[in-house]
Amino acid sequence: MLNDLAISAQGLTRYFGDRVVVDQLDLGVPRGSVTGLLGLNGAGKTTTLRMLMGLLTPTRGQSQLLGKDSQQLTAEDRARIGYTVEGHFLYSWMTVRQSEKFQRETFPRWNNAMFESTVRRFGIDPGQKIRVLSRGQRAGVSLALTLAAEPELLILDDPALGLDPVSRAALNETLLDFCNEGMRTVLLSSHLLDDIERVVDRVLVMVHGRLVVNTTIDDFRNRISSWSLEVPPASRAIQAIPGLVFAKQRGGRTIVTVADSDAETEAAMMRIGADSLERLPITFGEAVIAYLSQSRASDSFFANTGA
Amino acid sequence: MRTLIEKELRENLRWLWVGLALIGSLVWYATPKTLVANGESAETLIASPMLLGASLFALGLGVMQSFADLRTASRSFLFHRSVSIGSIFYSKLISGAILYFAAVGIPLCLVAIWFAAQGLDYLPVRPIQVYPAAVVALACFGFHPAAMLMLARSGKWFGTKLLPLFFVIPIVAIGGITINTILHGPALHVLIVGLILLGDLILVAAAKHAWVHSVADEGSFPKQPVNLALKLTLSIAAVVFVMFSFQVVAAFGGGWLPAETSSVEEDYAIDAEGNLWWVKSKRTRTEPWLAFISGDRLQKDELPDARRELPKKLQLGHLGKLTWVGTAKRCFAGEMAWYSKDLASYFDSRGNVLLYDRTLTPPLQARITRDGAPFAGDPRSSGSEDMFFYDKSGPSFWIDPIGAYRILSPSLKVETLLELPIQAKGSETRHTSNDQGTNKVQTQEQITILSDGKLHVYRLTDKDGNEWFPDFGRGKSEFKIREIAVSPPLPPSDWKDIRYHFTDDSKFTVVLTGRRPCFLTYDSKSDTHWTVTSFRNPNKKISDDLGSLLFSVLPLLFSIVVAVSIGSDLLLSGTSLPTIDSFKCFLQDEYGYVILGTVVLLFSMIGAYFACQRRMLSRSETIRWCCWTVLLGVATPIAVLAIYTRPACVRCTGCEKKRRIDLRKCEHCGCEWERTAPMGIEIFDDGFSKSKEQQLTPELTR
Amino acid sequence: MQIHISAGSPQSIYRQIADQIRQAIVSGNLKVGDAVPSVRQLAKELAINPNTVAKAYSELTRDGILEGLSGRGCVVASRKNVFSKAERVRRLELVLDSLVSEALTLGFSYDEIQERLVKRFEKIGPE
């Protein structure tokens, strides 16, 4: 079972000071999947990815990449794992060619065609200094360097951050090209829900350092439903709906997003606003936003009780 | 690895120019270009700025190389690739070493070449004189791994983060020994370089460990692993830090000590009649000269009691001491024999004395030889005792193991006074009150020589045979030497630890404190000439309040290092730290410094215990550290706080006590971490599913 | 045949693909035996995850609309009933149920519904 998982974690926990940032994460990402990691800023995405990469020691718990303990990855293990840093860090004093040479000589495998095609796709002149590249071009170089090393597992920390639409499209195409060849696993964090919907087949959602969603994108869509009720806003009864993810006000109505809606859920909603109960279509983006808004709302809830 | 080294060199090449400019200008500024007026040797002049420049450069380079690549993004970019973190560390170290030794080596080589090009006619320097600076530079490189260790460890800048740097201080001090021992044999230098490399090796092992387990983010973190090298480095650094603090305190005059803090010595003294006394003399912090406080006259076969009150109006004086004359194995151009305002003399490599006059060009005036042969004296035992140049026109003496000579001026010819095997020599300045009732005190130089059990005494006389008192600036052109030769009735094998005193020309006292302590009195007017009195050697009871106080407070490790150190005087000369004599005082002291030491040790142990508690160490580790306190003393709590990090704690849901966040089970009540209750909105499809029906199972999974 | 998909729509991407292929077959744009683009080709064209395309194709194959999955690609299958009579009736009842209830909720009369159904049938139904 564990061998089918490219990424796994058991009780992975990380504190900064006495503040918990990643809270007892149990995680399994099957091999060959493209998984999107979603969450608000500060939900613990980057911390989780860094712990998985063995770049940060967990406070408790453990994780494995390709069956190897994250904290004891050898150079050979790392050769099979690609990683791009948030913000696409590169040595700005190098040229693109020098970066390529540096990368080529610190990884055992090198797919030159992959590098050249990716760089071309982003419209980069390899003789340029990294310093003068645009953000999108930097992302292109970073991606080209990582993919040309032919990793089995690719972990991308918010690769689309701050990219223009053209670079975003190039990024998606590059990723999909990469996945088209062999059993390759990709885990990427992002805030661009439309891109995620196109590219991934699995989603992870983190809220306050906890994992609340880990499933296929279709399963996620099927199990999330949205309903419209004609009830006064902020009714206590709404908070009691089982599986309530988020409730918001639209005009005079309340839009309710629930997970795993069943007879009990519907009965609860009927009791509140039976006459007006109406099921609404819901997009992937709306479903994710419901989760993320829920966490933000609970933030303000905590803030209120604290005050 | 090659790629990584290339990357480091490319990134940090600019610092090479900074280093070359810094070290080059410092060293060149310090390099003697003409004869030095204050008589400092070229090796001292170069080594000191090298110490400063090289330390700063190594430290800066280490910080620069670490700082850039320990920031989160940069670190992730570098560390995630298919190379071990160890090789990343070593490539930084190696490229740092390449840049460092280039910045240090190029100026030193240039100075050495410049020295070689000077020629002895202009400047008494040889290329080998850059050697101590090179060893110091080697030792200073320790600041590079120390800086890398410093930056890779978490800790507060005003806490223990700077501590690793203190580890380098003794390494540099060991390197500094070479400045004064350039003429010693290779064994000492191999030992010195070996110790430096050993220190650097420990430091590198600790720094590598810290890098492999580096913490990129600040803030308290529970599981920063430690290895032996790291423990060793930080423990020794803590001891050095304590020493350094004492040094700083002492450097500020020890003003915190009471004014009567004293050091007491016991020694022989002699009165105006030539009687021998065993006296106690004391110097205090506010009156730092020796004053006789009590004593007892030495009687035949009696043990003197130094605590007895001295008679009023007793005039006591110190005895002279004979030192042994050594034979030179190799002489050295830079070893200075003597200097004055305009004149300076040096030994050349063959043992000739080179006489320089700063006012002339070229300054080399003469190579003085003993009838064409070099002198046999050992420049290491030389000093002002050997030669007396009052000024250009004055007379001078030169003593080596095969004779005593007088160098005539202005001809600079050598006149042989004695051709005798000379074992020991002593010189003293006699202060004589003028008979005419004026208060003018005249000084007279006198040389005493031991040769085959016979004492020879030389004094300067003028041409009429009257005793001559040198008068600066109004030198007379010709002088004679009056010899007084006396042969004490003892076999030469008994001549050990010779103290002597002339009461006047006819009376003479020699004290032998060796195997058979006795004193001999010579009186030319008596028939027998010599009387020999044996006595019981008094136990030398000395005390040094400051030294004892420091030894009772300082870590035992330091005391042991001082005790076994081959050159504790070399190592600690110029510092305010106590040396081996103070350590003896500490052990002998009657004022309870040993008790004070024990109390300090107890407090250190309590401190260490609380430090261990603070760092939440296990019981066995706490006991181990309390044991180490015996060796590390007051430094132990600092070491513990520096080595370990404090884990953060949160309230346990089981027992309400604060529990460590890094342990799976609560250390108080043993309960595991409670899983936060699911919110009912979780969507999972895999083996870790926690859907609605599993909400009640956390107890079952325990 | 051109397939357009949009992310951020209430319909999931795989459903958009499957519906558009069904539509094309019903409207005659795709005929029996016509090849549909391979999974990889379509995924690349649309810049979407190939698993999504594969999922749409596998649903269509399961429903007997496409055949010959994997390898050489898929072609439009000849119309055959993969479901039993009873199952077909059940599925139709389900669609009718929701159609009728939705239409009544919207306030249409029986005649209006029938009229529009016939029109619709004439437009997209088989000749």
pLDDT tens string A2-37: 457 899 999 899 888 778 889 889 888 888 889 999
Inter-chain contact C7–A218, Cβ cutoff 8 Å?
no
State percent of chain B over pLDDT 90: 21
* Predicted confidence (pLDDT) per residue in B333-374, tens digit: 455 555 566 667 777 767 777 777 777 777 777 777 777 777
Among A136, A103, A141, A99, which residue's Cα sits nearest to residue A119? A141
| CA–CA gap between residue B108 and residue B24 (Å, rounded) | 8
Across the range B452-480, mean pLDDT stands at 57
Q: What are phi and psi of B631, to 5 degrees?
A: -90, -40
- Would you state the structure tokens that stand for residue C23, as one six-digit string? 């539509």
| Chains B and C physically touch (3 or more Cβ atom pairs below 8 Å) | no
- Structural domains of chain A, ranges and CATH numbers in brackets: 2-208 (3.40.50.300), 222-306 (3.30.70)
The answer to whether A243 contacts B662, with C-beta atoms less than 8 Å apart, is: no
- With bands split at pLDDT 50, 70 and 90, how would you rate the model's confidence at B110? very high
- Comparing alpha-carbon positions, the chain A residue that sits nearest to B75 is A55
B221 touches chain A (CB under 8 A): yes
pLDDT of residue B473: 38
Secondary structure tally for chain C: helices H, strands E: 5, 2
Shortest alpha-carbon distance between residue C5 and chain A (Å): 10
> Terminal CA-to-CA distance of chain B, rounded, Å?
47
* Count of C-beta atoms within a 10 Å radius of residue A237: 14
Q: What span, in angstroms and rounded, lies between the C-alpha atoms of A88 and A79?
A: 19
- Token look-up 């003597």 returns B338
pLDDT for B306 = 76
- Residues in chain A, overall count: 307
Name every chain A residue with its beta carbon within 8 A of the beta carbon of C52.
Answer: 198, 201, 217
**Residues of chain A contacting B661 with CB distance shorter than 8 Å:** 13, 15, 18, 20, 59-60
Sign of CA dihedral C46, C52, C53, C56: negative
Q: How confident is the model at residue B673 (pLDDT cuts 50, 70, 90)?
A: confident
Instruction: Collect all residues of chain B within an 8 Å Cβ-Cβ radius of residue A259.
Output: 680-683
**Which chains does A contact via 3+ CB–CB distances below 8 A?**
B, C
B155 or B598: whose pLDDT is higher? Answer: B598
B219 inside 8 A of chain A by CB: yes
- Chain-centroid distance, C-alpha A293: 16
Q: Chains near B, with 3+ CB pairs < 8 A?
A: A
* Domain boundaries of chain B, sorted by first residue: 2-219, 221-252+551-702, 262-320
CB of A266 within 8 A of CB of A244?
no
Q: What pLDDT does residue B52 have? A: 93
Residue of B270, B292, B264 lying closest to B585 (CA atoms) = B264
Is A243 in CB contact (< 8 Å) with chain B? yes
Neighbours of B536 (CB within 10 A): 13
Q: Mean pLDDT highest for which of A277-281, B328-332, B471-475, B565-569?
A: A277-281
d(CA C66, CA C72): 13
Q: How many CB pairs under 8 A join A and C?
A: 57
pLDDT value of residue A78: 92
Name residues 150-209 of chain A within 8 A of B (Cβ). Answer: none
Confidence of residue C80 (pLDDT cuts 50, 70, 90): low
Where is mean pLDDT largest: A131-145, A179-193, B377-391, B492-506?
A: A131-145
Question: pLDDT tens across B218-255, in order?
Answer: 444 555 678 899 999 999 999 889 888 877 776 665 56
What is the 8-class DSSP label of residue B221?
-
CB B142 within 8 A of CB B172: yes
Name the residue among B223, B675, B687 with its Cβ closest to that of A57: B223
Q: In the predicted model, is pLDDT for residue B145 greater than 80?
A: yes
Which of A35, A154, A180, A197 best tests the C interface by mutation, with the highest count of C CBs <10 A? A197
Residue among C12, C13, C47 minimizing CB distance to A172: C47
Provide the pLDDT confidence category of residue B326 given band limits of 50, 70 and 90.
low
Of the candidates B83, B202, B179, B76, the one whose C-alpha atom is nearest the C-alpha of residue B131 is B179
Question: Distance between CA B535 and CA B300 in Å, rounded?
Answer: 5
- C47 vs A169, A201, A283: nearest CB: A169
The neighbour count for residue C94, using CB atoms within 10 Å, is: 10
pLDDT in tens, B604-646: 999 999 999 888 888 899 999 999 998 888 899 999 988 888 7
Cα–Cα dist A65/A86, whole Å: 19
Q: From C9, which residue of chain A is nearest by alpha-carbon distance?
A: A283
Instruction: Determine, for residues A173 and C14 on separate chains, whether the beta-carbon distance falls below 8 Å.
Output: no
Radius of gyration of chain B (CA): 34
Per-residue pLDDT band at B260 (split at 50, 70, 90): low
**Measured between CB atoms, does B658 come within 8 Å of chain A?**
no
Give the pLDDT mean for A168-175. Answer: 88
Q: Which residue has the higher pLDDT, B568 or B565?
A: B565
Of A176, A197, A221, which is closest to C8 when you measure between CB atoms? A197
Whether A and B touch (3+ CB pairs < 8 Å), yes or no? yes
Interface check for A284 against chain B (CB to CB < 8 A): the answer is no
Residue in A with minimal Cα distance to C47: A173
Which of B243-252, B466-475, B655-664, B677-686 bottoms out in mean pLDDT, i.e. has the lowest?
Answer: B466-475
| Residue B490, pLDDT score | 67
pLDDT surpassing 50 at residue A140: yes
Q: List the single best residue of A192, A284, A289 to mutate versus C (max C Cβ within 10 A).
A: A284
Q: Which residues, including other chains, have CB under 8 Å from residue B627's CB and lie 6 or more apart?
A: none
**Helices first, then strands: H and E counts in chain B:** 16, 25
**Using CB atoms within 10 A of its CB, is residue B40 exposed (0-12), middle (13-18) or buried (19+)?**
middle
Residue A81 binned pLDDT confidence (cut-offs 50, 70, 90) = very high
Out of A11, A91, A212, closest to residue B682 by CB: A212
Task: Kindly indicate the confidence band of residue B442, based on its pLDDT and cuts at 50, 70 and 90.
Answer: low
What does the DSSP 8-state code read for residue B413? -
Q: What is the pLDDT of residue B499?
A: 81
Contact B244, B293 (CB under 8 A): no
Q: Is the pLDDT of residue B573 over 70?
A: no
CA distance B122 to chain A (A): 50
Question: Which one of A30-39, A287-296, B496-505, B586-595 scores highest in mean pLDDT?
Answer: A30-39
CA distance A260 to B216: 41
Query: Cα(C45)–Cα(C3) distance, rounded to whole angstroms?
Result: 9
Q: Which amino acid is at A238?
A: I
Answer yes or no: do A200 and C49 touch at CB < 8 A. Answer: yes
What local confidence, expressed as pLDDT, does residue C3 receive? 84
Which residues in chain B are contacts of A102 at CB distance < 8 A? 3, 7
Please state the rounded mean pLDDT for residues C92-120: 86
Q: In Å, how far is C50's CA from the nearest CA of chain A?
A: 8
Could you write out the three-class secondary structure of chain A?
A: CHHHEEEEEEEEEEEECCEEEEEEEEEEEECCCEEEEEECCCCCHHHHHHHHCCCCCCCEEEEEECCEEHHHCCHHHHHCEEEECCCCCCCCCCEHHHHHHHHHHCCCCCCHHHHHHHHHHCCCCCCCEHHHCCHHHHHHHHHHHHHHCCCCEEEECCCCCCCCHHHHHHHHHHHHHHHCCCCCEEEEECCCHHHHHHHCCEEEEEECCEEEEEEEHHHHHHHEEEEEECCCCCCHHHHCCCCEEEEEEECCEEEEEEECCCHHHHHHHHHHHHHHCEEECCCHHHHHHHHHHHHHHHHHHHHHHHC
- The pLDDT-based confidence of A201 (bands split at 50, 70, 90) is confident
Pairing outcome for strands A224-229 and A278-280 = antiparallel
Beta bridge partners of A27: A9
- Rounded to the nearest angstrom, the minimum Cα separation between B575 and chain A is 42
Query: Distance (Å) from the C-alpha of residue B8 to the closest C-alpha of chain A?
Result: 11
B325 neighbors B319 (Cβ within 8 angstroms) = no
Task: Name the closest residue on chain A to residue B674, using Cα atoms.
Answer: A24
Q: What are phi and psi of B111, to 5 degrees?
A: -65, -40
Distance CA B295, CA C66 (A): 121
**Residue A231 bridge partners (DSSP):** none
Average pLDDT, chain B: 76
Q: Does C14 touch chain A (CB under 8 A)?
A: yes
Contact A219/C at CB under 8 A:
no
Contact C49 A179 (CB under 8 A): yes
Task: Supply the pLDDT for residue B253.
Answer: 59
According to the per-residue pLDDT averaged within each range, which of A208-217, A224-233, B38-47, B537-546 is highest? A208-217
**CB neighbour list of residue C14: distance below 8 Å, 6 or more residues apart:** A218, C52, C53, C55, C56, C59
On whether any CB of chain A is under 8 Å from the CB of C29, the answer is no
Vertex B148: Cα angle to B145 and B149 (nearest 5): 85
Please indicate whether, in this complex, the C-beta atoms of A198 and C48 are within 8 angstroms of each other.
yes
- Give the pair of three-digit tokens for residue B570: 């070399």
Of B285 and B690, the structure prediction assigns the larger pLDDT to: B285
User: Which residues of chain A are within 8 Å of residue B219 when distances are taken between CB atoms?
Assistant: 16-17
DSSP assignment of B227-279: -HHHHHHHHHHHHHHHHHHHHHHHHTTTTTS-TT-EEEEEEEEEETTS-EEEE
Q: Which residues of A touch C51 (CB under 8 A)?
A: 33-34, 201
